[in-house]
Structure 1
């Protein structure tokens, strides 16, 4: 256990760099699902590893060993090492739980605040127009889902461009993209190294919505122009790329992410420069899935080893 239990804690060092390639080497939808799934799996394995370290140290405490009828001699390990490690792992595990809870509550509070602001204005179907001169637009999930757009953004775009922008935001809502981001945010609270997955995931989600909008309006150039003009008119352009203070951090907007790369992808689908990345796609996916498999195997092996040790120690006391 002493070696296997560290694999889930260290594997994100390899998984995160591999995942960064996926936003470019995989189709957007597949990249988003794989990045989110890997983040959740790696976070679960890391949390399980911390829990196993806590359990291994706790069993070596005389009080706990007596309650479970364990022989301290057969538990193995040096209590001077395993017990302090267990205390440290317990503190980290508690900190992760608090961070996850705070992040989930903040996400819920931000959405509630945004919903109250949107509900204060009239809506036409799923479209809510805010009387704000600052151009902005975003997808606001809830019951019902809303596409929130400001009067400033409507003035900045033409009628056809507005429809492309609305199609992009509706794609975020129908795909439940905010749940992808929330999953990775909660996973990052469990393991700080997983924060590196948010940027490629956000890009994959924006590209997913871009492609859905282009399919909906039937014009890739129009969609690219709408996204480019919305980004130039939006608050991020005037503030050096900073998001609007009115927009919750938990929602997605068409003007987010590396807009020039997204526009170029819309204007040049299947360009030759992407072929080398496609050739290495299987290798990148295999590397990332291998990292997840090793993490899960390490946690399972550590759990099985701890279980065998406990059974041996209980057998000794039962003689």
Structure 2
């Protein structure tokens, strides 16, 4: 039994169709379902592609005489049965180290940012969830912690009327209640381990905003009002110089400021979605063209899992035969 030569490569290539399907899924699937699907797919594909790199690197490592001595297997049997060469194993080992470093670095930064955000939330004045800061720059964001806080500047309050403020607060409250920072952190972690998955992380950033928009529309009972609030808040922050908030920026918490109009994408799409009828709450799209990106993503995850499992199984059998 040998390690099948092509199996470890499929989990490295299958994230491509998932990345291509990310934006259509974010647009056509109900936001909450899209967030769960895209985040889960990103984590699964990142883990499976990392496992595939580990199998390729391990297939080169077991060719070493020292590894054979330590593992008590026959190096000659391994060399005869393993088609993976050093030309393939060495780049895989380098990519594996790079993926582990990038994911570990991002995870460390996110943990530090979460601690900093929790500390900042605890140190804010008052005991209510809403905190108003005296700042002429329009700003509004959700700050996770125990308890989580919604921070709004006086500049933002002055830019919105009473109904807009209610919609904005409902939007930010949805970010806290839904733990949206965790979804985005997980998607960014997957993209750090496998850069091909960056479109999925971008799509998750959009779907959590849409998720919060829909919750705000349900709370306010007026989708057009929420659409107006999103547009007015974006215009207000567009006119204000961007001042970086370290804890929030590092966590990737997307408040109203995180969708500036100069990117000419998320805000108009969010407003258009709010002006249209709400999407039905279903995990699987209806039987139309919107089912294609869903099928591409699910098939990519399933095929990656099968290929990674088969490659690992053959790798195990090779070592078992070599050690017999």
Common fold: TM-score over 0.5: yes
The corresponding residue for 1:82 is 85
Give 1:120 deviation, angstroms.
4.6
The answer as to 2:270 corresponding to 1:262 is yes
The corresponding residue for 1:156 is 159
Supply the distance in 2 between the matched residues of 1:270 and 1:117 (Cα, whole angstroms): 36
The corresponding residue for 1:252 is 254
One of 290, 293, 318 as aligned partner of 1:281: 290
1:234-249 matches, within 5 Å, as: 234=237, 236-238=238-240, 244-246=243-245, 248-249=248-249
Deviation string, structure 1 residues 262-319 (Cα, Å, up to 9, x no partner): 1121122259xxxx9972222221111001111111111110111111111112xxxx
The corresponding residue for 1:313 is 322
One of 43, 46, 55 as aligned partner of 2:49: 46
Distance 1:80 1:220, change over 3 A: closer
* Contact residue 81 and residue 318 of structure 2 kept, 8 A: no
Give 1:77 deviation, angstroms.
5.5
Provide structure 1 residue ranges, at least 5 long, that are not aligned to the other structure: none
| SS state at 1:129 partner | strand
Deviation string, structure 1 residues 161-214 (Cα, Å, up to 9, x no partner): 111101001101111111111011110111111112122111111111000001
1:88-127 matches, within 5 Å, as: 88-123=91-126, 125-127=128-130
The corresponding residue for 1:15 is 18
The corresponding residue for 1:173 is 176
Deviation string, structure 1 residues 241-267 (Cα, Å, up to 9, x no partner): xx5413622212034332122112112
Distance 1:144 1:117, change over 3 A: closer
Number of aligned pairs? Answer: 307
The corresponding residue for 2:217 is 214
The corresponding residue for 1:298 is 307
The corresponding residue for 2:262 is none
Give 1:233 deviation, angstroms.
0.7
Distance 1:268 1:255, change over 3 A: farther
The corresponding residue for 2:282 is none
* Contact residue 24 and residue 277 of structure 1 kept, 8 A: no
Give 1:220 deviation, angstroms.
1.2
Supply the distance in 1 between the matched residues of 2:254 and 2:17 (Cα, whole angstroms): 28
* Contact residue 169 and residue 253 of structure 1 kept, 8 A: yes
Supply the distance in 1 between the matched residues of 2:163 and 2:201 (Cα, whole angstroms): 31
* Contact residue 50 and residue 193 of structure 2 kept, 8 A: yes
Supply the distance in 1 between the matched residues of 2:245 and 2:64 (Cα, whole angstroms): 52
Normalised by the size of structure 2, how large is the TM-score? 0.87
Supply the distance in 2 between the matched residues of 1:282 and 1:210 (Cα, whole angstroms): 24
Supply the distance in 2 between the matched residues of 1:304 and 1:81 (Cα, whole angstroms): 15
Distance 1:150 1:124, change over 3 A: farther
Give 1:227 deviation, angstroms.
1.2
Supply the distance in 1 between the matched residues of 2:115 and 2:166 (Cα, whole angstroms): 27
| SS state at 1:60 partner | coil
Supply the distance in 2 between the matched residues of 1:18 and 1:230 (Cα, whole angstroms): 30
Supply the distance in 2 between the matched residues of 1:73 and 1:174 (Cα, whole angstroms): 59
Alpha-carbon RMSD across the aligned residues, in angstroms, is 2.3
Distance 1:111 1:70, change over 3 A: closer
Deviation string, structure 1 residues 63-109 (Cα, Å, up to 9, x no partner): 11122222223224599963353333223222222211221222233
Which sits farther off after the overlay, 101-110 or 47-56?
101-110
Supply the distance in 2 between the matched residues of 1:80 and 1:7 (Cα, whole angstroms): 16
The corresponding residue for 2:236 is 233
Provide structure 2 residue ranges, at least 5 long, that are not aligned to the other structure: 260-265, 280-284
Normalised by the size of structure 1, how large is the TM-score? 0.89
